[in-house]
Structure 1
């Protein structure tokens, strides 16, 4: 039996409890809010012009939602797979659930299934994959296809076909970072759409390779220098992978978050005293992606450990404004005195633990240090439902949605765990007055 076939059986054999559905609803709220909050950005306007929601094209609707959800860098993160599963799986499931009139429990179950497939395959790609490939883009199509398969009622054989054809569409390169290009949002958009198309094709009898993962010309051989295929099926009794996923409190690359958390703690200890220099110790992937001492635009600043730590040390917080021109200029001197290096102890824990060490030397010579193995928003230190709802309300406001209306939308998502219908909830978010205004501004 192929790995894909065994993965489908493993996922479908798992019990879905009430707490699982309620937790899935939290992630839907978070992902939807991230997308709505991004509606008036330049990448979102481009996506809306090319792939508007509401055309009846399910794949394009998944593309629309998936692209928007990744723009603000506030979307969720699964640590061991190094994926942002919500930006791919939830848009795919949302487009199909709304079109098919699914009830909330079926939709949320599909979300759980999608996270499981995406993250388990991501757990197996090995560390070297991430040096060139964006794991969310390569592993995401599998998750989107798995979620879609549940919603359209594919049997196991056709689900395997869907995953096979999702895998052959895997792509997404990190080269966009060199120029600060918008391609990262295309990664999540295409991953969501690819999974939907693969499932819909499978329903029509369009076959796909069962050995897409482990085959001689398959995913692991083609994209993964150091894969661990056994990780796909490892620990079948573990919690749902969704429960092992982090939710971001700060709007920047997740690799910066442990250092931000440490720096915020140091901000309180420094109490306004002058900083002579800063040393950040991190893991290899953090350096590969976030060593940017002189970011020239907001997106580059969001991928700069030096900038994020400088903002946290200086201001005690990191918000959207922390990446704009004024903040980049104000923090330039502190960034220049911030050194980034590989910390062997921190690196040894990655990707199971995304840690950081931040040390500050004050002008008088005193040295202060904070170390983090986890940070706010991780499963070990989660946001409360109230904190998540407040984050969502702020993002809806950023997207032009009144607080009362946003509150009703959030409540409607939470109600899905009790069986409330999906209805037109996502259409209301993407084609309502604020959404039309953003698209019209293009």
Structure 2
């Protein structure tokens, strides 16, 4: 672990708090934050219609198992965070490999509701939460990600920051909140081997840990100030090739929220550059059938192969983490939608998916994690070869989803979740930069 960083006499969590609190938030920053909030809320409401979401809602008392059970703020954060991370269409920050929205937005939302915060105050806390959680993630290193889920391990720092800001905690209290939240960092990738539902709890627990740590800090409950860089802290325990100096790098740049990507397709973000390339090829090949492909090869980076090399997807969730399935369905159908991962879609794509070869290759391997890219090359049975390359994916800062596209995506997710008036809710969320309070969510009424 590399430990050199500026101001070594000041704990890293304190440096993070000072940086986030001092950074200016313009009207444009607040408007962009509102767009990310809309994306996260839509994901949560859409997640309610999934099998996992229905189980979570039953646990929460919104179903037949525990009707009317009182729910505390931390548990509300867990519920909303878990729901947000189910459909695999929530945001992703490349340099940290963290999904910040599914952790920070739920924590900030439930705290803002409880405290009666204004729209601008809420959005400010979201900016600060994104800033902190992604900066921690920027330093953890690739070895951490092979075992630990960055959203789960780095998320508690951001949720604690957002909650502490909404509570009006001072600098010392906020450092205590981050220290105790960070001590609860956890979340392992083992669930991928069976397609278990654990990943959703990762986001939920990270949101809950930050809320509860901030509430305790308000009561004087202390936490370790050097939880990040201490000899028995987070980096020492989980980051064998981490670089602590990255946590406080490029402080004069834009908010990290502005460097966060939005997903256009409901699958692991590691599949998206290859999906982009495959969709281009599909148009060129006019949606050729599996019989017309002699071979398909994808070039990508190591993390994509580690997480998404899955030639046979046995479930909807496994298919979302299968480069082979995503490429096959994009090539054959010319689109990737929520329906692209169901039983019928997996059966249709299986023949082509089973023969797709994945290779780790430059320039994609060495560019990661700053850039997430892939190339897809197909050889057809007629002998022709076709290739498409991507240095980044649709929805990245280099090719962002435009606000109307984010709205359309969000409306689709909310309609999938059965929300009666999605456009009205979307407009209310986008109006948060000038709002006196947050709108009601069907999730909490």
TM-score, normalised by the number of residues in structure 1:
0.95
**1:23 lines up with 2:36 in the alignment:** no
Matched ranges for 1:9-408 at <5 A:
9-52=18-61, 55-273=70-288, 274-402=292-420, 405-408=421-424
Gaps of 5+ in 2: 1-9, 63-68
Deviation at 1:271, TM superposition (A): 2.0
Name the SS for the 2:397 alignment partner: coil
Q: What is the alpha-carbon distance in structure 1 between the residues aligned to residue 343 and residue 49 of structure 2?
A: 19
Query: Aligned pair 1:430/2:439, yes or no?
Result: no
Shift of 1:431: 4.0
Alpha-carbon distance in 1 for matches of 2:350, 2:260: 33
Unmatched 5+ stretches in structure 1:
433-442
Coordinate RMSD, CA, aligned = 1.1
Query: 1:275 deviation in Å?
Result: 1.5
Q: Which residue of 2 aligns with 1:410?
A: 426
SS of alignment partner, residue 401 of structure 2: coil
What is the distance in 2 between the residues matched to 1:142 and 1:272? 45
Cα separation, 2, equivalents of 1:411 and 1:56: 28
C-alpha separation in 1, matches of 2:60 and 2:204: 10
Distance in 2 separating the partners of 1:327 and 1:399: 21
Contact 1:120 1:233 in 2 (8 A): yes
- Report deviation, 1:272: 4.3
Contact 2:394 2:401 in 1 (8 A): yes
Distance 2:71 2:336 in 1: 39
* Corresponding pairs, count: 427
TM-score (norm. length: structure 2): 0.94
Deviation string 1:257-298 (CA, Å, 9 cap, x unpaired) is 000000000001112452211000110000000000001000
Contact 1:276 1:337 in 2 (8 A): no
Alignment partners' CA distance in 1, 2:114 and 2:70:
11
Tell me which residue corresponds to 1:437.
none
* Alpha-carbon distance between aligned partners in 1 of 2:93 and 2:240, rounded to the nearest angstrom: 21
C-alpha displacement at 1:325, in angstroms?
Answer: 1.1
Shift of 1:27: 0.5
Q: Is the 8 A contact 2:340 2:346 kept in 1?
A: yes
Task: Indicate conservation of the 8 Å contact 1:82/1:135, yes or no.
Answer: yes
Moved more, 27-36 or 410-419: 410-419
Mapped contact 1:52–1:64 kept (Cα < 8 A): no
